[in-house]
Amino acid sequence: MHAELEKPKEEMQFVVFAIGGEEYAAPILDVKEILKATKITKVPNAPVFVEGIINVRGKIIVVIDLLKRFHVTTESKPQHILIVNVGDNLFGIIVEQVLEVLRTEKDSIKRTPAVLSTKIHSEYLQGVIILGERMVILLNLQKLLSEQESSDVHELVTKAELKGVKEEKRPKNSVDDRKREAARQRTKRRISHEKKNTHH
């Protein structure tokens, strides 16, 4: 009689990062890219947690500061931006530092304990990853924005993209610049003509 083969345990991968000195994680399937902190263009009238927008290979990405979103304070300077899927949209999220890509068995993921003390409200949490004495808090990125906030942010992106298109189509010399240049040329020709008449 053959011994029953043990089924391999299902594994999952997560991107682990620091927020306010605590370890958090997001499923690697939700993370499209990891960028070093870069210059972010501010957007007028944006929510306080929206840091601005960045251009990633021609695509406008709204950047959310998780520290501001979760009302977390820290003295550390953010080092990374994660490009993540939230619903049907891509967003950038600012984190203090990306620590590692973690591969772990699905069994190590547990429900969020009711007594868990964390700097982030429980509605944004999906569970915890238990690794011996180490505990990594799993964020629910899909809860990052409410429907209204997602709609407002999407409108910001649309306006930013339209503004970018207009600036690209705008000629280097505007109509007013061309008119002024034409007027200068006419004045120059008139002065030259008057000088010739004076000599005669």
Domains of the chain: 11-167 (2.40.50.180)
The confidence score (pLDDT) of residue 192 equals 64
Q: Where is mean pLDDT largest: 75-84, 151-160, 163-172? A: 75-84
What are the tens digits of pLDDT across the range 88-128? Answer: 788 999 999 999 999 988 888 877 666 565 656 667 787 88
Give the pairing of strands 89-95 and 59-65.
Answer: parallel
Residue among 122, 106, 130 at smallest CA distance from 23? 130
The closest of 136, 102, 105, 101 to 11, measured between CA atoms, is: 105
Residue 165 predicted with pLDDT over 60: no
pLDDT at 28: 92
pLDDT tens readout for residues 172-196: 455 556 666 666 667 666 666 555 5
Quote the pLDDT of residue 184: 67
Give me the sheet containing 31-36, strands edge to edge. 31-36, 80-86, 89-95, 59-65, 50-56
pLDDT tens string 42-96: 888 888 889 999 999 888 899 998 888 888 777 778 889 999 988 778 899 999 9
Task: Round to whole Å and give the CA distance between 92 and 49.
Answer: 12
pLDDT at 198 over 60: no
Identify the pLDDT of residue 99. 94
Q: Are 102 and 85 in contact (CB under 8 A)?
A: no
Confirm whether pTM is higher than 0.95. Answer: no
Query: In whole angstroms, what is the distance from residue 140 CA to residue 109 CA?
Result: 13
Flag whether pLDDT at 166 surpasses 50. no
Task: Kindly indicate the confidence band of residue 13, based on its pLDDT and cuts at 50, 70 and 90.
Answer: very high
41 pLDDT exceeds 60?
yes
- Is there a contact between 144 and 49 (Cβ–Cβ < 8 Å)? no
How far is it, in rounded angstroms, from Cα 27 to Cα 29? 5
